[in-house]
Amino acid sequence: MIDPNFFLYYKIIMASIDDFNSDPLIGKRLGTCTILKELDRGGMGIVFIAYQQTLKRQIALKLIPKCYFTASVTERFHHEAESAAILSHPNIVQVYEIGETEDYLFFTMQLVKGDSLGFILEKVQSHFMASRRILPVKTSIRIIAQVLDALDYAHNEEIIHRDIKPDNILMEKHTKRPIISDFGLAKVLRGDNIDFLIRGTPAYMAPEQILGLKVDGRTDIYGVGVVLFEMLVPELPFLENESTEAFLKRKAYDKKGVFLKNPSDLNPNLHKEMDEIVSRAIAYDPDDRYPTCRDFLNRLENYEKNYLK
């Protein structure tokens, strides 16, 4: 059953972050770093460019106002962020330092020079030529393959992400390497069942997240499946003008899913096999999805081998 407070929490926190004035934080020091300028903000926090005096380098700093959370969630944040900091993979942002002040939780991490996949998709999908509003299929598979490899590694370390979406996949400018960010908000499988109020981003959330049920690596697989779908089509086929609350309720209870069309219906360059690949990743029941990210990755590699020249 959906947490009756979920939608209230979601609306309050989203509105609060949007209204938060970060100007007084510029020039302030947190931990070993001085905040230089705001870089981005999302559903739960604000990302800044900061300067780390000890190593004389620019890094990223994510700050989360503590007033949005309970004391137990604050404690859990430290445990999860510290666990995420042990991850070492070329496609995962490295976490450097976790800390808190009287008002904020924060962690510092690798500063990736480049745009998010979300920004790139938005730019591609708004191209003035209709034929250029989709990424090449090979490019999409290459990016998703690296994301799946990184998540497979994290899952083997008993850490899942729970908020896989294009905005949390950063594309390094020079290497074109996708790097997953925000592992500081991950769920540690070996831990207890305390959860955050915000459990993900609506379009990419698996049904079990919305319902507050147990989550595991297959929850991340659902998110990757939606991201892949989005990369392959001009626009995700949702109902128009549907409220967030109605969308989440439909996603939580409608076993047919929320997508109105298959990828190949919207992209003539796709073989029907891709419909099967995506539909399994975003199946309503976790047991119907790929058991692991490696299984998902193998299926994509076979598609590339058999259907792409």
**Could you report the per-residue pLDDT of 112-134, keeping only the tens digit for each?**
999 999 999 999 988 888 778 89
Q: Is 95 helix (H, G, I), strand (E, B) or coil?
A: strand
Give, as one character, the DSSP assignment of residue 128: S
Structural class in CATH, domain 114-307: mainly alpha
Query: What is the average pLDDT score of the chain?
Result: 87
pLDDT band (50, 70, 90) for residue 70: low
Domain segments of the chain as ranges? 6-109, 114-307
d(CA 86, CA 108): 14
Q: Where are the beta strands (DSSP E) in the chain?
A: 29-30, 33-41, 46-52, 57-65, 95-100, 104-109, 114-116, 159-160, 169-172, 178-180, 187-188
pLDDT digits (tens, 9 = 90+) for 7-20: 444 444 444 677 78
Can you give the pLDDT at residue 184?
Answer: 56
What is the CATH number that goes with domain 6-109?
Answer: 3.30.200.20
**222: phi then psi, degrees, rounded to nearest 5:** -60, -50
- Residue 8, pLDDT score: 44
Which of these is catalytic: 152, 163, 167, 220? 163
Q: How far is CA 108 from the centre of its chain?
A: 18
Could you tell me where the beta strands, DSSP code E, fall in 110-164?
Answer: 114-116, 159-160
pLDDT in tens, 253-292: 999 999 999 999 999 999 999 999 999 999 999 999 999 9
Return the half-sphere exposure (C-beta side, CA atoms, 13 A cut-off) of residue 3. Answer: 17
Three-state SS at 255: coil
Known catalytic residue: 149?
no
